Amino acid sequence: MKGEILKAAWTPGLPHVLNGEKSLSWKKLAEGYTKLGQRISELKPDVLVIYSTQWLSVLGTSFQTQPNPKGVHVDENWYELGDLPYDFKSDAELSTQFALDFKEKGFPTKTVNFEEFPIDTGTIVANRFLNPNGKIPVSIVSSWVYADAKISKLLGETMAMTIEKSGKKAVIIANSLLSARFNPDEISPGEDQISNEDDEANRKVLKSFENGNWKMTANLVSDFSKTSPMDMQFNALHWLSGILGERSTRAEILTYGPQWGTGAAVIDIH
């Protein structure tokens, strides 16, 4: 039986979303995240595939194969927001196959299977909402710092083929910001906001998500970069466009709002 992609999603990875009581925007993002988590749970996927822009790799693309990552992470910037315990299962078999298949395309890859390897904040936040009991096996892929749009898209295309031959039902998560203009100062969470220029750029991308034309959405990145800082060159978007390929999709923007000045959104793509 061929594997399939049941659903894709775009999610934020900063820890503020776990502190909804401090800001209306963070609260709404948490509500959107919770709704998405419920929808994913109903689909009963075999695996959650998470691309996290907060897991940076240097020696090519890395894939997590530690069978049961668990521990307590403290965010290096927002440590006062509390500890982030995590405990989930990895789909090591699928992650290993992702690495083999992308390596076959001529790109450096690594599998990562080390106790106490520092799982990134973005992955932990996504799991908290989308896999709260840690029961769905997870396959995490890193954001290679030297990857460009073309490589990221090819990575997505390759992973889509791997999923198909695996026979597994997968939900795909691109864990990334939209505009990545952080407020460099302390702010009152209630006053968190996105600048007008970033908001305008974000809304163009969101509209394009809704239309489901991935080629057109990817083409917006060039214009976006002229006005707004991007999260890892928007490689999560290129990866997502590669993994969804020519599929006809529609997106539902469950929430969109600021997180410390950046643009964050929870988007259900089906």
Partner 1 sequence: MKGQILSGFLAPHPPHLVYGENPPQNRVKSTGGWESLRWAYEKARESIKKNKPDVILVHSPHWMTIVGHHFACVPELKGRSVDPIFPHLFQYDFKMKIDTDLAKLCCEEAKAEGLTAKLMQNPNFRVDYGTIVSLHMLNPDWDIPVLPISANNSPYAFSLDAGQEQMIKLGQATKRAIERRGVKAVLAASNTLSHLHFSEEPNPPEDMSREHVQSDAQYKWDMRVIELLRNGKIEELKKIYPQFIQEAFAEVKSGALMWMLSALDFKPIKADFYGYGTVIGTGNAVMEWKNSAGGAL
Q: Is 186 in the site for partner 1 (CB under 8 A)?
A: yes
Q: Which is nearer to partner 1, 24 or 58 (CB)?
A: 58
Cα 72 to Cα 118: distance, rounded to the nearest angstrom: 9
Stretch that binds partner 1, among 89-97, 180-188, 208-216, 217-225 (CB under 8 A): 180-188
- Distance in Å, CB of 146 to partner 1, minimum: 7
Q: Is 77 in the site for partner 1 (CB under 8 A)?
A: yes
Which residues inside 10-69 make contact with partner 1, applying CB under 8 A? Answer: 55-60
Smallest CA-to-CA distance from 93 within 131, 158, 46, 40 is with: 46
Q: Is 226 in the site for partner 1 (CB under 8 A)?
A: no
Q: Is 76 in the site for partner 1 (CB under 8 A)?
A: yes
Burial (CB count within 10 angstroms: exposed 0-12, middle 13-18, buried 19+), residue 169: middle
Q: State the chain's maximal CA–CA distance in angstroms.
A: 53
Amino acid identity of residue 217, one-letter, is T
Identify whether the C-beta of residue 224 lies closer than 8 Å to the C-beta of residue 180.
no
DSSP string, 70-130: EEEE--SS-GGG--EEEE--B-HHHHHHHHHHHHHTT--EEEE--TT----HHHHHHHHHH
Q: Which is nearer to partner 1, 185 or 246 (CB)?
A: 185
- Taking residues 103 to 142 in sequence order and writing x for each that binds partner 1 by CB under 8 A, - otherwise, the string is -----x---x-xxxxx-x----------------------
The residues facing 257 across adjacent strands are 264
Q: Which is nearer to partner 1, 66 or 249 (CB)?
A: 66
For partner 1, which residue of 38, 79, 207, 250 counts as binding (CB under 8 A)? 79
Q: Which is nearer to partner 1, 17 or 218 (CB)?
A: 17
The size of the interface with partner 1 (CB under 8 A), counted in residues, is 30
Smallest CA-to-CA distance from 82 within 36, 22, 132, 28 is with: 22
List residues binding partner 1 (CB under 8 A).
55-60, 72-74, 76-77, 79-80, 83, 108, 112, 114-118, 120, 146, 182-186, 229, 260
